[in-house]
Structure 1
Amino acid sequence: MPLYDYRCNECGDFEKWLQISDLDSPVYCSDCDQVANRLISAPNISLNSGRFPKKYGTPELVTRKKRSVSPPRLQEAKAGRPWMVSHSPARY
């Protein structure tokens, strides 16, 4: 369940754990029982916590070797169209 920030006009800011399915329902202040407005805040994500090991150093420049490419060879079907075996005119 995510933690959401709310603001009551009389009591101030507070946080509340809500399920995503309950997000559209009104939230009441725990002190004065008035409807509170939800605040938009940035998520609390810490990427410098040490959990992510530093595996890689500085990126290296990768170059592609140029290779000679020969043009494709054209092939002709000698026995007609092999993919149309079931539609040959000899069967009709």
Structure 2
Amino acid sequence: MPLYEFRCNTCGSFDAWRSMAQASEPMLCPSCDTLAKRIYSVAGLIFTPSALSRRIEQSAEPKVQQRQSHAHSHDRNQHQGRPWMIGH
């Protein structure tokens, strides 16, 4: 259930958990029992500096790593008794 903000003309603003179907309906103020209307506010946005956003974009790109070959690692796994690893 989302949290909505309402404003009472007498007491000020307050928050209330309501279903989405009841979101636009007026609500009684918990302090004075008068009808309060829902406040529609903008979503909080965070602006990042351009240098930081470029660095984030660069670090998000995957890098190809070369696997080091271990020629004898396959033999070592067979000697440790792992039959489910055969052929992998």
By percentage of residues, which structure has more helix?
2
Name which one, 1 or 2, has greater alpha-carbon Rg: 1
Please give the range of the TM-score, normalised by the shorter of the 2 chains. 0.3 to 0.5
